[in-house]
Structure 1
Amino acid sequence: MTNILILGAGYAGLRAAKVLAQKKLDAAITLVDRNRYHYETTSLPEVAAGTRRAQSILLPLPENLPAQVNFIQATVIKIDRTNKQVELADGQPLTYDYLVVALGLESENYDIPGAAENALPIVDVKSALAVKKQLETNFQNYQTSQDPDDLRVIVCGAWFSSFEFMGALVNRLPRLAEHYRVPLDKIEIQCIEAKDMILPMFDDDLTNYVKKWLADHNVILRTGMPIKEVQANKVITADQTYTASTLVWTTGVRGSHVIGDSDFEARRNRVMVSDQLSLDDDPNVFLLGDVAAVRQPGKPYPFPATGQIAFQMADAAATNIAADLNGEPRQDFVFNDLGTVLALGSKDGVAKVFGDHKLRGYAAAAMKRVIDDRSLLKQAGVKAMVKYGRLPL
């Protein structure tokens, strides 16, 4: 029996496991993840801001996996392709005939001094909860410290998650101020970004909508200001130092460190894969999601790593593995861009969907909830969507 090993239960890994199970192959399918749950990565900014409970974005494993999939909770430390083995932090190595690597992302610090030590990323449930705790601790401290920095939040980097975090936080601020008995008008949120341009996936119309929303809600956006150093409660640029007790790091992400530790040829722990999503020199090894770089036709850079491309990569990789086992030819991966949605809290946002159709305001925020539920449907089926989804039926 063919042994198919999947590393990581994020969007790509979980979807690949489900699709492979549906293929009814003569194969043993094993899914490995360090957690006994899948979490909706796109909802982490809301958890960090405190507008969603962490429990509400979790899909428990293994009970929501197909019966044909064996689940192992373990931490992957290295991939040994020579011997077709995966080393675990605890336990015996796992062997494979086909390997699907979908180990997800980590925060990217770009070697900026002090960033890792003094700023908090939003990359998983634990880190999102750490941001929430830091916010609440500082607001509570203000009652006795009267230190303006305890009511200041600096978001380092203007990435997608940055805006969704700030949008959710703005929604929560009135309740936070009331709960901790702090003056709402003294709370400050600012975002510092190295580049001049933000949100390149949107046109000027939608980007300007986001900028105006931020300004209307007293969020300061500072672009064209590379960060030189981060110290305790300080963000230092070329010509100024900004202070805040809560520093959030959302400048970018890289693939799992396991990629670098396993001697893959990679950039920022993302491996350039073939058109069939496998390695050119090892076609039984597939890389998906945040650890993969997929050639974008006609452009010098790969597709950005998003939830929707992770889903589609999983479908394609599972189909190609099934094709191998059934003696059929593989198919090249073709990305079908369904659009992009940015939520600014629960009642506002922007979106480009169905080609060039644009949404603003509540319609965009509602679309985000539809996408979250569609994700659950694709990952675990109707029952999981009904139980864990965000939209009333």
Structure 2
Amino acid sequence: MSKPKIVVLGAGYAGLMTTKKLAKQLAPEEAELVLVNKHNYHYETTWLHEVAAGTINHNQARFMISDVVNPNRVRLIYDSVVKVNKEENKVVLENSELTYDYLVIALGFVTNTFGIKGMEENAFFIQDIDGCQLIRDHIEYKFAQYKNSEEKNDDDLTILVGGGGFTGIELVGELVEKVPQLCKKYDIDRRKARIINVEAAPSILPVFEKDLVAYAKESLERRGVEFMIGTKITECTEEGFVVGDDSELVKAGTIVWTGGVTGSPVLSESGFELNRGKVTVNGDLRAPGEDNIFILGDCAWVMNEAEGRPFPPTAQAAMQHATTCAHNIAALLHNEPLQNFIFDDKGTVASLGITDGVGTVFGGTKLTGKPAATMKKVVDNRSIFLFGGVNLLLKKGKVRPF
């Protein structure tokens, strides 16, 4: 009798950690493990804003999957997922097909432009390592071009960031570190380089309380960030954002959209019922009506029944999804009861550059400034440690002197 085959799609926080835990919990004779990922590396999604700003090297934000998962225990397939054929227990890849007995879908997110005209064509996205390298290179190219142009256009030095959520604010926090370096490198007056954040909602960083939001805004403004809050973007052109009822054009040399994400399009291609681009999963993290399909991370809405809304789709939640999912797959194999997901909220911290940040940790303790920035690095290092232990932490962890 053949061993049951467990296929995991995606090597992000949820998928890679699920694979790692399954390899530990199940003996080789109990199940065949397969991990499918587009690239042969995992990247830390929560570090992408630093890659985009150019404050860390892109290689620091990624590590080889084979450094974490033993290829002798887990079959690694590097390919793109096209769709899941649920009726036939089959995964269609670009270059082959796979059958499965149990499936874990953890394919992450794609950028959601909310139908804003021209955004897809004219803006950069914080979405993957390659795209963030393009942002970094484009920003520096604009500064170099300005330096070497006889007819200088100050708009070329403006960096426009759409979206005042976590990613947008952490990006501008890194840009206030990087832009002065570029100005010095290319002998440009710092006052000519602008960083503008545009947010349609009445506030930035909606996950934090008002006092922390006020601190973040004041800190970034003091270092040169301009905010346009409560300002709706109606269109994105090659020149910049068209905003407000009077259709004002805010010009920029670099345009970055960070205003929203949605689950992988593979979900819709595979016929899952979606709510705002994601699947609302059962408490045990299985897709509704599916006994052998688990959906995790940014592909899933996991409901907080006590509050009647989903748990925040964060990296820490995704890694906790992995613990529940691996346990439940092992339970299915052993005919044991399944567990419902319980979120252990360890707090939330946002960086505002190298030595500044805001956060709430340890059940409500508020942090600002250097303590928050230090805690952010602790959080980032913890993720690396959980994946690869001390060796990976020493290779990829963040150690920044204050």
The TM-score range, normalised by the shorter chain, is over 0.9
- 1:374 and 2:382 matched: yes
Pairing 1:126-205 to 2, within 5 Å after superposition: 126-143=130-147, 144=149, 145-205=151-211
Structure 1 match to 2:290: 282
Q: Is the 8 A contact 1:370 1:391 kept in 2?
A: no
Q: Does the residue aligned with 2:76 lie in a helix, a strand or coil?
A: strand
Alignment of 1:298-377 (within 5 A): 298-377=306-385
Q: Aligned match of 1:212 in 214, 218, 221?
A: 218
Distance across 2 between alignment mates of 1:173 and 1:228 = 27
Mapped to 2, the partners of 1:260 and 1:299 lie a distance apart of 27
* Counterpart residue identity of residue 212, structure 2: L
Given residue 281 of structure 1, which amino acid in structure 2 is its aligned partner? Answer: G
- 1:82 aligns with 87
Match of 1:17 in 2: 19
Q: Determine the structure 1 residue equivalent to 2:105.
A: 101
Contact 1:18 1:380 in 2 (8 A): no
Read off the aligned partner of 1:187 and give its amino acid letter.
A
The 1-side partners of 2:121 and 2:305 are apart by: 39
> Which range moved further: 170-179 or 286-295?
170-179
CA distance in structure 1 between the aligned counterparts of 2:389 and 2:5, rounded to whole angstroms: 25
| Structure 2 unaligned blocks of 5 or more | none
Question: How many angstroms apart in 2 are the aligned matches of 1:40 and 1:232?
Answer: 30
Alignment of 1:228-243 (within 5 A): 228-237=234-243, 238-239=245-246, 240-243=248-251
Q: Aligned AA for 2:62?
A: L
Q: Distance in 2 between matches of 1:338 and 1:306?
A: 11
Give distance in 1, aligned partners of 2:206 and 2:175.
23
User: Who is 2:270 aligned against?
Assistant: 262
TM-score (norm 1): 0.97
2:33 aligns with one of 16, 29, 35: 29
| Partner Cα separation in structure 2 for residue 138 and residue 78 of structure 1 | 39
Deviates more, 1:207-216 or 1:195-204: 195-204
TM-score, with structure 2 as normaliser: 0.95
User: 1:59 corresponds to which residue?
Assistant: 63
**Residue 5 (str. 1) matches residue 11 (str. 2):** no
SS in 1 for 2:375: helix
Q: Distance in 1 between matches of 2:377 and 2:102?
A: 35
Deviation at 1:314, TM superposition (A): 0.7
Partners of 2:128 and 2:376 in 1: CA distance: 19
Further displaced range: 12-21 or 145-154? 145-154
**Quick one: distance in 1 between partners of 2:80 and 2:236?**
30
Residues 33 and 73, structure 2, Cα contact 8 Å, conserved in 1: yes
Deviation of 1:300 (Å) = 4.0
Kindly report the root-mean-square deviation, in angstroms, between the aligned alpha carbons of the 2 structures.
Answer: 1.2
Separation in 1, partners of 2:395, 2:158: 37
Query: What is the SS of the residue equivalent to 1:279?
Result: coil
One-letter amino acid matched to 2:49: P
Instruction: Give the number of equivalent residue pairs.
Output: 391
